[in-house]
Amino acid sequence: MMQVTNKTATQILPFINSCIDPKLNIIIGCSGGADSTALSILMSKISHDWESKIKLVYVNHNLRPRNQISQEINFITKLANNLKLDYSISEISENEFNNIHNSSMENTARILRYEKLAKEASKFNSNIILTGHTASDNAETILFNIIRGSGLNGLEGISNNIAKTIKSKNYKIIRPLLEIKRIQTENICKENHIKPMFDISNNNIKYTRNKIRKQILPSLADINPKVTDALISLGKIAKNNNEGNKDLLDHLFKKLISYKGNKRTISDINTFKILPRSLRSEIIRKILHSNSSINIQISMKHIDKIDELMHSDGTKYYDLPNKIKFTKEYNIGCFEIKV
């Protein structure tokens, strides 16, 4: 029987019981690392009396040396057998990477990974996908979003339970470990005498997230040893604030924005200009992200420039990332999104 400390169980059990139906099948995205391995251990124990079946899914991105991939697949096979869970291996081909443009390698890998998990979930008669994201991942994400200027929504960090449409089907993405830190997942593995895999690419600081994890957060911890808790607290404050503004933002968006093909138009700039700056920024951001078929990198520099042009006289033009063109003419602002 797998072991779970009372403290960890207390932190995660209420959330799991509140959002997972014990009669429904579940997919766990499992890389073999400490976080997803700990999640697999926890779910195997918690679901002991459940009617549902659980499957571990390893997604092979084909980005690492073959011997490392083989070791990870062997580990997943043994872990699933040890926990008495189903498992499967899913492959991402080079062509699939090449078919997604205008996005970083990290983001492309994330998109394709969720597509593979969704496909495996569908074959397993499931629409529930669990991932092993922890409080440590959440803090890193919030800091990453601060650095790239992603706005108030980015300050929320990672959501513990979201609905996601993938290939026209609806799935629930659930992250049960967001209340515990990485050190706890490592301890869960240790307590159960399981040595998880370690992806050596996690040490490569050419990737922004690794640099945040290996260099920036440790430096910030010298100033505030509880920096992870502080970032997570900031995320919760942002989430509460954003929820309060959401209804107003949705109302203004419907009133001011019109759609035609790949064009998004602010039909009344004069009304737009008298709104508080924070609402103007979020409306612009929502316009730029309203086409879910593309992945764009928008910073506050872009938002501020568009806002500046909205307040200027005459006709103005501005080219944004991903061939998005903004035109301000008379009392109208138009965003043309070229897919």
Angle formed by the axes of helices 300-310 and 277-288, nearest 10°: 110
**Strand-by-strand arrangement of the 161-166 sheet:** 86-91, 54-60, 26-29, 128-130, 169-174, 161-166
324-329 and 316-320 beta bridge pairing:
antiparallel
Which residue, chain included where needed, has tokens 């004069």? 270
Domain boundaries, the chain: 6-223, 261-337
> Which DSSP string corresponds to 139-201?
HHHHHHHHHTT--TTGGG---SEEEEEETTEEEEEE-TTTTS-HHHHHHHHHHTT------GG
pLDDT digit string, tens, across residues 131-169: 999 999 999 999 999 988 777 788 999 999 999 999 889
Confidence of residue 84 (pLDDT cuts 50, 70, 90): very high
Confidence at residue 323, expressed as pLDDT on a 0 to 100 scale:
83
- Choose the weakest-confidence range: 16-25, 117-126, 195-204: 195-204
Rounded-to-integer distance, Cα 185 and Cα 170, Å? 29
Confidence at residue 261, expressed as pLDDT on a 0 to 100 scale:
85
- Choose the weakest-confidence range: 27-31, 189-193, 320-324: 320-324
> Which residue in 285, 2, 306, 297 sits closest to 153, CA to CA?
285
Which residue(s) pair with 332 in the sheet?
A: 329
> pLDDT at residue 7 above 80?
no
> Which residue in 152, 151, 120 sits closest to 25, CA to CA?
120
Residue 228 tokens, joined:
């992870």
Confidence at residue 2, expressed as pLDDT on a 0 to 100 scale:
54
pTM value is 0.78
pLDDT digit string, tens, across residues 91-109: 998 888 877 756 677 788 8
Confidence at residue 101, expressed as pLDDT on a 0 to 100 scale:
59
> pLDDT at residue 214 above 90?
yes
> Which residue in 208, 17, 11, 29 sits closest to 131, CA to CA?
29
Rounded-to-integer distance, Cα 85 and Cα 80, Å? 5
What proportions of the chain, in percent to the nearest 5, are helix, strand and coil? 55, 15, 30
Confidence of residue 6 (pLDDT cuts 50, 70, 90): low
In b/e form, how buried is each residue of 313-334, taking b as 16+ CB within 10 angstroms? eeebeeebebebebbbeeeebb
> pLDDT at residue 245 above 90?
no
Which residue(s) pair with 264 in the sheet?
A: 259, 335
Question: What is the architecture, at CATH level 2, of domain 261-337?
Answer: 2-Layer Sandwich (3.30)
Q: Percentage of the chain with pLDDT > 90?
A: 65
Q: Which CATH superfamily is domain 6-223 in?
A: HUPs (3.40.50.620)
CB under 8 Å to 248, separation ≥6 — which residues? Answer: 279
Confidence at residue 339, expressed as pLDDT on a 0 to 100 scale:
61
